[in-house]
Every structure is written in C-alpha cells, then in structure tokens.
Amino acid sequence: MTSPTPVHYLSTLSFPDWWLDELRARHPRLTVTQVPAVSPADVPDEVWRRTQILHTGAVFPATPGTTPDLRWIQLDTSGADHLKDTGVWDLPVPLTSIGGISPVPMAEYVMMMLLGLAHRLPRAVEVQHSGTWPSPGERWNTLMPRRLRGATVGVVGYGRIGREIGRLAGQFGMTVLGLKRGRATRTGDFFGTPAADPADATELYTPDELHAFLGRCDYLVVTCPLTDETRGMIDAAALDALKDGAMVVNVSRGGIVDEDALRAGLRSGRIAGAALDVFDEEPLPADHHWWNEPGVILTPHVAGFAPDYEEQTLELVSANVERFLADRELINLVDRSRGY
C-alpha cells in the first residue's frame, strides 16, 4: 500500500516548536514548514512553489504563479478587510479566518471601557498626573460616575463578539440593543462562544434602522467588520442621532467611525467620552491629536488579544486541516460577497 501524498503546509508566523510538533503529530500527512516572514521575499521560492496550505497574517505570494499548488489560505486574523484590494482576494482558493478566538477577551475589554468611561477614568488619570488633590466641588462635579444599571448599550455588529458583550452587559443590568445585517443569529460556534440564547432579550435592529437604534443608546459599541457597507457607517449624522452625552467604544476597524465627526462631538460635549482601540491610521503617529484628546481612553489595537491564542489557534487550524484532508467545508470561511 502506498503512503498518502504529503500535503505541504507553510506558516509565515512564529509559532513555538511545541505547536508545530503537535500539528505534525495530529496530521502525519502534513509536511509542516515555518518561515517567519515580514515580506514574500523572506520565503524561499522553492517553499512557495510547494505550498498547498498557507497560514499567514499579512505575507502572501507576490503573484499567483509563485504558489501554483496553493489550495487554501488560513488567515491569522479575524477580519479579511486588508485583502479586499489585493490580488489575494481574487485567488480561486478558500480563505478562512481565526474568528471565534477573541470574543471573550474583546467583550471583557469592552466592559472595562464601559466601566472606565462611566466612572470618569480619563478625568481620574488627569488628576493623578496633575499631582493635585481636587476640591470637594471638583470631585463631585467631574468624578461623579454615570450609571450602567438601567442604561442602554447599543452594539453595532451583533455576532459572536456582540453576543458576548451583550451577555456581560446584561449582568450589569444594562438594556442591550443589537444591530446586524439580518435578524437571524447563528446557532453555534467552534470555540463555544455562546450562541443565540432563546431567552436573550436583546432587541435586534437592521442597518436601515440605524438612526432609530442610535437614538436609544446611552453607550455605543462598534464591533462590526469593515466592508463596503460599513465603511463610514458611524458618520456625523449617526453620531448626532445618539442620545445627548452618549459615550462611544470602537473595537472594530478604522474607517467605520468618522474620526473627525467623533472628535467634533467630543469637543462640543454632544459625545461625553470615547474609548478607541482602532484608528484610520495605524500605527498612530506620535503627534496625532488622539493621544491627548480629553475624555478619551486610547489603546493600540489590542482589544482582540487572546491569552489562549496559541492553544486555540492550534485547535482551529487542526480542525480545519482535518476538514481539508477529508474534502469537507472549512470552518470560518470568508464570504467574499460580504467581505468577511
């Protein structure tokens, strides 16, 4: 009996040896190669030529002819918007994401920011850096928290991440609204992120109801993918539709929230505060105004960092390799027609 034909897997990432060894042990048919790379030129031509499975974040073959046997690309990102205007998008191979790894830590991040904004964390940090104890009146007027219990949080993008945000917000007594492309919600997920709960009281809106949705929000959380439909969705008119004094948390992608309009809303007082993890320009230049904008909590695109990333990525990739070898549908297929 002849041995099965080997399948060549290439990682352009930097997984530890135990990770690669475990992938080999689970799938003896795989020939596993890892070449940590920052550009296509870092990968030898002969490695590109034999690659059938490419696991990468942002390093792709320079031309289709570079990888004549390529049959599947496993992205090490939850989104695929960075590929939309590249030749990779048009390659006749499936793309899969690592969606499902980050919903829990991202939802925890969002709750941290909702609590931080409600409890005036930007102002408290200013006080700390000033080294001056404020007067009783100043403390009362500038550090009085806003309530979460009974407030309404609207989540733009009520999918895996949105549902987990909704679950946690509900524990704080918040009313949760969700906005998504359709009212139906997926029933399961690979990593056990809670599926749609029949008892979930979240009221769902569709994009054509955006302004009605925003008009009910004390807090707005943006967590949808960047697509042609969502680019510029939260513009000046959308921000004006929010309740007076609403607060905004953005953990999606730069380009969805109009940054100039958000800054104008903060300066006018219409928007009472914001927590921003993503920006139009990344890395954010050292002289950018967001670094020192009053009322803003800023982080450098870290909301999706997952402490169990390596273990969970191994489980996802391994499950997808098994499906690939059995010619079954892959997990987390990117729908090119939707852009994610």
Positions marked catalytic: 253, 282, 301
φ and ψ of 271, to 5 deg? -105, 125
Q: Scan for tokens 């191979």, then name that residue.
A: 93
Among the listed residues 270, 274, 211, 269, the one whose alpha carbon sits nearest the alpha carbon of residue 237: 211
Integer Cα distance of 152 and 270 in angstroms: 17
CB 270 within 8 A of CB 239: yes
How far does CA 258 lie from the centroid of its chain? 18
DSSP 8-state symbol, 323: H
Integer Cα distance of 58 and 9 in angstroms: 16
CB 70 within 8 A of CB 52: yes
* Cβ neighbours, 10 Å, residue 36: 12
Integer Cα distance of 334 and 323 in angstroms: 16
Integer Cα distance of 16 and 127 in angstroms: 43
Q: What is the CA radius of gyration of the chain?
A: 22
SS3 labels along 22-43: HHHHHCCCEEEEECCCCCHHHC
Integer Cα distance of 333 and 73 in angstroms: 10
Which uninterrupted H or E stretch holds 165?
helix 160-171
Laid out side by side, the sheet with 271-276 consists of 203-205, 175-179, 152-156, 219-222, 246-250, 271-276, 296-298
